[in-house]
């Protein structure tokens, strides 16, 4: 653990080492604090006043560090680039954009519900404390970035605005509006957007660039791991204390908006704007870089939970069945490559196994979805998805969707997962897959409604991963392997064998005995047993009857029955035709010529019927049986040939041994 823990304090929490601080020179050259004075700015240069031009004195120009989804000081390329450009004279800014707290496009949900809003406020508060420890502060504004940053740049005469580059639709539109707003100023500052370590692998390090990446994740992973593998850049150290200068006088830092200020327009009900963490939550999430680094240190080094990640990651309850890094990764409280390097150091220091590789695999999946969003653009948010399929008719049933959102579908795994999401802002990976499959495959509701509900409620909402996973679940992703229909009953029995997770979030089921077969199908429980379970009648009946998946034998019987019915119907239709013709011949007086024509037509009908009888569709199972028989025959032939070849070889070896050792002739070879 050397390097990560020094004197009992995680090194990830320290702001630079002593060697780095010794290399840091005072910003002013003499170490004295510079006094900021507001004077009339020269219209020609915007960073020298007329008095300073005459006296030959140059005023330091400030640069803006615009924090977005990178709320940290460690491994933050944007912050370090701003420090270098401004020589320490940096204005760190975070904007609570009202558009991020508005309503979604399709279902008109609040984009950010109370759990994530509270988590975001904690992240910003922790970032402010970190910057204050470095000698600066965080300027917080509640407004649109294009207006806030333009006003601040004009007020302080800033020369550059640094920010992290985003790739999703709404974020790129904000960048375009900010660029236009800055360009409209009298002395426009330069907008510089950098890749802010939002992925484990930098796009510039990919062999053929982002545009040439394969769509399927399996091939994407091969690109990263083929020889030579794509390098993972080292995380950047946080700025040393004193690298940031104090904010200029007259600049108000601003207060962090309250929950009411953020949510009053999108959530009218005052009770829903207050968030109290449920005691049943899997983990008491706390926003901020400090909590993120502490969680990484605990999961890897203190508890060694990573060592069993591959075997526990499909769990449903508990704090440590998964890493739960996603909420801090989504807000940029810790970088993906920082976690990746910690995992590699764990493998070098302790041991590498399938679990450590699996966690790196999950970080690769996150990179895959972000690079996918770069390639497909707005198609990620359309009804047809990246694949552009519009051949399916989606429903917009508000009642069914409301039952899904509130956990009242009648299927315990879906209901327990949705209630956990509503009250904590978190849901397990297995739960997310199950509820998405149920909404899409069983209820047939527009997948975008489900994606927007996740956007509203999840603490770890990440636009790229969220919409990428939903399009895959709907069969609209670019990966040719579509998500299969998940049986939510079997999923519950497999991953919650004793029903502990269901009982935790569904008090109506607490009276059902532990491990009961009908725990995940309470509506099928016999009436006599239902009467002995208190409060079970309060649990809702299934909102929709789930389509049962027939087994292979049932499907084969159904196909046989359909084939026989189809053949019988064909025979009856041909019999009716013949009887009609004969009746016409017997009841009417016809000439010889008409009789010849009728006989000829009957011959044609007979030939058609005979050909139709011979061309009856062979059921699919017949071809399957023939294929299996052919494969078995080939395998038997190969086995016989190998056995014969082995017998010939042994015979030759026996002959050679007899020739070399005449005394052993006639003995048995062992």
Order of strands, sheet of 63-67, starting from the edge strand that comes earlier in the sequence = 139-141, 90-95, 63-67, 160-164, 190-194
Domain 41-336 is of which CATH architecture? Answer: 3-Layer(aba) Sandwich (3.40)
**pTM (predicted TM-score):** 0.74
Per-residue pLDDT tens for 343-399? 999 999 999 999 999 999 999 999 999 999 999 999 999 999 998 888 888 999 999
C-beta of residue 332 within 8 angstroms of C-beta of residue 130: no
Distance between CA atoms of residues 374 and 389, nearest Å = 20
**498 marked as part of a ligand binding site:** no
Distance between CA atoms of residues 578 and 274, nearest Å = 80
Q: Which range among 38-47, 543-552, 592-601 shows the weakest confidence by mean pLDDT?
A: 38-47
Q: Exposed/middle/buried for 141, CB within 10 Å: 0-12, 13-18, 19+?
A: buried
Sign of CA dihedral 116, 122, 123, 128: positive
Cβ count near 606 (within 10 Å): 13
Q: What letters, b where the CB count within 10 A reaches 16 and e where it falls short, cover 465-490?
A: bbbbbbbbbbbbbbbeeebeebbbbe
458: DSSP letter:
-
Three-state secondary structure along 161-220? EEEECCCCHHHHHHHHHHHHHHHCCCCCCEEEEECCCCCCCCHHHCCCCHHHCCCCHHHH
Residue extents of the structural domains in the chain: 41-336, 398-538
**324 marked as part of a ligand binding site:** yes
Predicted local confidence at residue 478, as pLDDT: 81
615: DSSP letter:
T
Distance between CA atoms of residues 131 and 138, nearest Å = 7
C-beta of residue 290 within 8 angstroms of C-beta of residue 73: no
**462 marked as part of a ligand binding site:** yes
User: Position of tokens 């508005």?
Assistant: 102
Partners of residue 84 on adjacent β-strands: none
Predicted local confidence at residue 273, as pLDDT: 82
Tell me the two tokens of residue 472: 């895959």
Distance between CA atoms of residues 328 and 331, nearest Å = 5
**109 marked as part of a ligand binding site:** no
Assess whether pLDDT exceeds 90 at residue 201.
yes
Assess whether pLDDT exceeds 60 at residue 36.
no
Predicted local confidence at residue 51, as pLDDT: 42
pLDDT (average), residues 269-291: 89
Fold of 398-538: DNA Cyclobutane Dipyrimidine Photolyase, subunit A; domain 3 (1.10.579)
Assess whether pLDDT exceeds 60 at residue 169.
yes
Distances (CA, A) of 624 to 561, 621, 627, 628: 17, 5, 5, 6
Residue 262 pLDDT class (50, 70, 90 cuts) = very high
Q: How many CA atoms lie within 13 A of 56 on its CB side?
A: 0
Three-state secondary structure along 316-329? CCCCCCCCCCHHHH
**266 marked as part of a ligand binding site:** no
Q: Do domains 41-336 and 398-538 have the same CATH topology?
A: no
Assess whether pLDDT exceeds 90 at residue 94.
yes
Per-residue pLDDT tens for 485-495? 889 999 999 99
Assess whether pLDDT exceeds 60 at residue 474.
yes
Per-residue pLDDT tens for 207-232? 889 999 998 898 999 999 887 899 99
**325 marked as part of a ligand binding site:** yes
Predicted local confidence at residue 89, as pLDDT: 93
Q: Exposed/middle/buried for 376, CB within 10 Å: 0-12, 13-18, 19+?
A: buried
Predicted local confidence at residue 565, as pLDDT: 56
Distance between CA atoms of residues 154 and 182, nearest Å = 9
Partners of residue 528 on adjacent β-strands: none
pLDDT (average), residues 410-415: 96
Distance between CA atoms of residues 619 and 560, nearest Å = 7
């Amino acid at each position: 653990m050397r390097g990560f823990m020094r004197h009992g304090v995680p090194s990830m929490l320290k702001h630079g080492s002593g060697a780095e601080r010794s290399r840091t020179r005072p910003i002013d050259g003499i170490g004295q604090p510079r006094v900021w004075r507001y004077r009339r700015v020269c219209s020609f240069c915007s960073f020298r006043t007329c008095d300073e031009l005459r006296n030959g004195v140059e005023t330091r120009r400030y640069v803006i560090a615009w924090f977005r989804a990178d709320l940290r000081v460690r491994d933050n390329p944007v912050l370090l680039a701003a420090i270098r450009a401004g020589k320490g004279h940096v204005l760190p800014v975070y904007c609570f954009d009202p558009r991020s707290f508005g309503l979604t496009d399709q279902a008109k949900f609040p984009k950010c519900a109370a759990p994530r809003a509270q988590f975001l406020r904690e992240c910003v508060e922790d970032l402010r404390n970190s910057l204050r420890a470095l000698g600066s502060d965080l300027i917080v504004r509640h407004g649109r970035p294009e207006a806030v940053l333009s006003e601040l740049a004009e007020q302080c005469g800033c020369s550059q605005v640094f920010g992290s580059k985003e790739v999703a639709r709404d974020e790129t539109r904000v960048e375009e509006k900010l660029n236009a707003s800055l360009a409209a100023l009298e002395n426009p500052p330069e907008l510089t957007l950098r890749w802010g370590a939002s992925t484990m692998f930098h796009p510039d390090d990919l062999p053929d660039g982002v545009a040439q990446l394969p769509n399927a994740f399996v091939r994407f992973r091969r690109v990263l791991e083929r020889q030579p593998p794509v390098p993972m850049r080292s995380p950047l150290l946080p700025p040393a204390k004193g690298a940031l200068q104090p904010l200029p006088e007259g600049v108000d830092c601003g207060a962090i908006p309250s929950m009411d200020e953020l949510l009053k327009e999108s959530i009218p009900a005052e009770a829903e704007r207050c968030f109290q963490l449920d005691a049943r939550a899997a983990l008491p999430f706390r926003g901020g870089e400090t909590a993120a680094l502490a969680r990484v240190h605990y999961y890897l080094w203190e508890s060694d939970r990573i060592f069993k990640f591959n075997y526990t990651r499909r769990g449903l309850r508990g704090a440590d069945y998964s890493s739960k890094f996603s909420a801090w990764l989504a807000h940029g409280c810790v970088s993906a490559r920082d976690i990746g390097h910690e995992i590699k150091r764990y493998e070098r220091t302790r041991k590498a196994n399938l679990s450590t590789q699996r966690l790196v695999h999950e970080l690769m999946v996150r990179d895959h979805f972000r690079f996918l969003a770069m390639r497909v653009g707005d198609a990620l948010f359309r009804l047809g998805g990246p694949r552009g399929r519009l051949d399916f008719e989606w429903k917009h049933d508000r009642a069914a969707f409301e039952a899904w959102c509130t956990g009242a579908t009648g299927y315990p795994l879906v209901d327990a997962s949705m209630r956990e999401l509503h009250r904590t802002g978190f849901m397990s990976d297995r739960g997310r897959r199950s509820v998405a499959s149920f909404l899409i495959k069983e209820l047939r509701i527009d997948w975008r409604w489900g994606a927007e509900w996740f956007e509203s409620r999840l603490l770890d909402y990440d636009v790229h991963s969220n919409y990428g996973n939903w399009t895959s679940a709907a069969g609209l992703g670019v990966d040719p392997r579509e998500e299969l229909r998940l049986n939510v009953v079997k999923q519950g029995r497999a991953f919650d064998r004793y029903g502990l997770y269901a009982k935790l979030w569904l008090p109506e089921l607490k009276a059902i005995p532990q491990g009961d077969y009908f725990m995940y199908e309470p509506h099928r429980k016999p009436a006599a047993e239902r009467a002995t379970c208190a409060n079970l009648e309060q649990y809702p009946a299934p909102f929709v009857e789930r389509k049962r998946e027939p087994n292979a034998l049932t499907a084969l019987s159904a196909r046989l029955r359909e084939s026989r019915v189809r053949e019988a119907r064909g025979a009856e239709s041909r019999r009716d035709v013949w009887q009609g013709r004969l009746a016409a011949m017997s009841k009417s007086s016809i000439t010889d010529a008409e009789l010849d024509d009728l006989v000829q037509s009957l011959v044609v009908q007979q030939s058609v019927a005979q050909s139709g009888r011979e061309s009856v569709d062979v059921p699919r199972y017949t071809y399957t049986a023939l294929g299996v028989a052919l494969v078995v025959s080939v395998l038997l032939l190969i086995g016989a040939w190998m056995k014969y070849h082995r017998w010939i070889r042994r015979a030759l070896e026996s002959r050679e041994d007899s020739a070399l050792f005449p005394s052993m002739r006639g003995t048995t070879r062992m």
